[in-house]
Structure formats: C-alpha cells, structure tokens
Amino acid sequence: MSMMRPLTCAALALSLTGQALAENEKVMAGDSIGKWLDENLKHRFVVLGMATQTQPNYDSSININNDLLGIEKSALEAQIKADFELKREIFSLTMKPRYRHQTLWLEEGFNGSSSKRQDRLFINEWSLDIKPDPSVVIGYGREVRQWGPSLFMNLSNPFLLDNGRNNPYQELGGTDFLRIAHLPSYNLSYSLIANVSRGEAEARPDGFKQTYALQTEYSGVDFSLGGILSKRVENNPRLGLYGQWTANEAVILYGELSTGSGRTGCYIHDDASSPIELTFECGQQKSSKLYTNWLTGASYTLLGGGTINLEYAHYAEGYSSDEFNQLTLLNQSLQGYILGGNANADLASYLVARSTSPGLQHLRQNYLFFSYIHNNIINQVDINLRYALGIDDGSSQIIGILDWYVRDDMKLFVLGSKSLGPKNGEFKYFIKSQLYVGFEAYH
C-alpha cells in the first residue's frame, strides 16, 4: 500500500498534468486558430430593413388598372448579408451567404392580408482562387462579374444584362464562372472565362446557355483598355471593347461597344400556326447583319466635390419604333385574351411573360443618360441622381438616392424613382413611381 499510494499519486499527478497540458494545448491551439483567423479572415455583416411603395402605371394600355400583371404596391423586406474572405498565400476563399425575407401586398399600405411572403437563405456569391504562380490565377465560383467605365449600361458584358446601378439595395444574383487568368505584368492581363451555370442570376427568356470568353485588359499611365471575345452556345460570337482615358485631373472620357452578327432577345414574328398569328421568338436571330451596340461618355469632377457623368448609348439590339408599336398592340390583344378568359389565355400569358422580360438590356435603341454623384457631404451624406431619357419614345426616368450615415455603423436611405413621358413609353411601361425607405446597419 505504501508503494501504491505514491504511484497512484504520481499517476494522478501525471494524469492531471497531462489533462492540464492537453487543456493548455487546446487553449493554445484555440488561440493560434483565433490568431490565424484574425490575420487572414476578413468579414462584413450588414442588416438591411426596407419598405417599398410602388405606383403601377394604371393608364398603360397593356396593364390597365394593373389587372393583368398584378404588380404589388407595398413591400417590406429584411436582409442579413455576410461577406467572408479568407486569404492565405496562394489561395483565397470568399463566401457571401444571404437571408432575405419579403412580404408583399397588392394594395397600398402594410395592413391587410399579404399577397406573398418569401423567405430565402442562400449563397449569392462564393469563389475559390488559387495562384499556382504569382502571374496566374485559377478561380471558380459564383460571382457578379462586371467591368467597364459606363454607369448606364454594360454593353460589352456578355454574361449579365443588368449592371445593378439603378437600385444598389437590390443585389444582383451571382452566376457560376471558371476563370483562368494570366498576368504577365502589372498592367496586362489575359483571362479565359467560362460561364458554366446560371446560379442565382435572373433567367433569360431563351434559358441559360454556357458562354465562353477570352478577355484582355491593359492599363497605361492615364488610360485603360479592355476587350472580350465571347461565344454563347448556339449563338454567334461577339466582340466587346471598353476603355477610358483620364484626360486631366477632373475629366475622364470613356466608351464601350459590343458587335456581332445577329441580335439576341425576344422579337415578334408572324406565325400562322399561332391562334393569334403572332409569336415571340426568343434567342439569337440568325442573321448575317451586324448589330453594334455602343456607348460614349464623360465624367467631370467639380471643385466642390460632385461628379457629373453624361452618356449616350446606341443599343442596336433594341426594338425599332415599328417593333415597339407592334409589341404594344400585341400586348393589348393578349391582355384581352387573358382577362376575357379566352381559350388562348394560357398562350397569351406565356407571351406576356416573354414580352415583359424580353432578355434585352433596354427595350429601345437610343438613350441619353445623366448622373450626379456627390459623396461625403458634411461628412455624413451621399447623394446620387440618375436621369435616363429614351430618345426614341420620349419617355424618361429619374432616380434619386440619398444615404445618410447617422453613425459609423448605420445609415438611413431613401430611393425614389419617377417615370415620365408618354403612357406607353418604355420607362412608363408598367411603373410610374417607386419609393424605397430603409436602413442598413454594419458590423
């Protein structure tokens, strides 16, 4: 017994020491993981709350009294957005999970029974990049891939139709890319890009089709140029070019274009087999005719701090006046079929869906765009005014965005849009005005 006690004590001591060491190792391991994450993980959290009021265009001859489309007039929305970026030597991982709740009402106000409630938890964007060599990046993931200097349209982008600038509070959905980039120097890059699946991006009327592209960018002392040659499956190849020149300390001149044979979208065609003798054909029209979309613009920074942008865009793939008038007439007919309970109501509904989302960046061909951005006014306020004029039909849209940073971790915002011009003009096609009021809190 006398020997046993010391052995037991020793064993107990060893055991306790071992446990203590293990605990200590765990703490140290925990500390080192914490330190490692602290050094390599960047994160950003945003909570957004927003109320929206929408005034449909009741006079529109294609959606009289909002009977056809049933556009919701009131909405409440909450979003929780998290951005994570883990970067370490040759690899980086980004992850942007989102939670979104929406409650929508057909009538004005936020009382009564809602017409729709939606809750979604999803990964809007993520990517994994590996750099096997300092001049090579191989990446795969779901991204909102945008470039080019223009504010109004992103004409050279074969992957996305919307540049998201009209409403920064509605995130664009990411789409899935594989990218292999070679950067032989600091001012030159070549990228092979494959858009392999739709991901969270908005569906196009002719469905998702894989798109492959070769993109190159060059940056000089006071200018930058880019080009992208792309091929969407079953479509003809298109060439996109974009560039900007810092002309002096206050002025930037820029331009963008895309060109290729055939145009892509939904276009009206005679169709004797259709009960209404017309149909929409969605996709690329097979044609040898060259359609060149182009945009030119300039920005000027005032001494007071605000920046003015002026752009002109020619969108050759948009509808001509005849096509647009035909579209309006067709929509009026379809409305009659649907609301009248015609036997062809289902077909009419299908066509209306196509006509309201025809896969075009804009419906018409010629636009003027003006923007005024002034940030950090009295250290707290950002304002952004945007005005787009459709030259072909005289309709226009004005958007005002005001952000007021009430604290270092919170802002209040108001976004108002108003459409002007003829009742069936593009910008007034469905909506007369919208108002968004909300807050964003950051961590």
Q: Least distance to other proteins from the beta carbon of 232, Å?
A: 20
Q: Least distance to other proteins from the beta carbon of 340, Å?
A: 43
Q: What is the 3-state secondary structure (H, E, C) of the chain?
A: CCCHHHHHHHHHHHHHHHHHHHHHHHHHHHHHHHHHHHHHEEEEEEEEEEEEEEEECCCCCCCHHHCCCCCCCEEEEEEEEEEEEEEECCEEEEEEEEEEEEEEECCCCCCCCCCEEEEEEEEEEEEEEEEEECCEEEEEEEECCCCCCCCCCCCCCCCCCCCCCCCCCCCCCCEEEEEEEEEEECCEEEEEEEEEECCCCCCCCCCCCCEEEEEEEEECCCEEEEEEEEEECCCCCEEEEEEEEECCCCEEEEEEEEEEECCEEEEEEECCCCCCCEEEEEEECCCCCEEEEEEEEEEEECCCCCEEEEEEEECCCCCCHHHHHHHHHHHHHHHHHHHCCCCCHHHHHHHHHHHHCCCCCCCCCEEEEEEEEEEEECCCEEEEEEEEEECCCCCEEEEEEEEEEEECCEEEEEEEEEEECCCCCHHHCCEEEEEEEEEEEEC
Q: Least distance to other proteins from the beta carbon of 442, Å?
A: 4
Q: Least distance to other proteins from the beta carbon of 259, Å?
A: 22
Judged by CB, which is closer to other proteins: 23, or 222? 222
Q: Least distance to other proteins from the beta carbon of 213, Å?
A: 12
Judged by CB, which is closer to other proteins: 100, or 423? 100
Judged by CB, which is closer to other proteins: 228, or 363? 228
Q: Least distance to other proteins from the beta carbon of 172, Å?
A: 6
Judged by CB, which is closer to other proteins: 130, or 290? 130
What is the rounded distance in angstroms from the CA atom of residue 410 to the CA atom of residue 404?
9
Judged by CB, which is closer to other proteins: 164, or 262? 164
Q: Least distance to other proteins from the beta carbon of 249, Å?
A: 4
Q: Least distance to other proteins from the beta carbon of 163, Å?
A: 5
Judged by CB, which is closer to other proteins: 72, or 125? 125
Judged by CB, which is closer to other proteins: 224, or 261? 224
CB 254 within 8 A of CB 243: yes
Q: Least distance to other proteins from the beta carbon of 334, Å?
A: 34
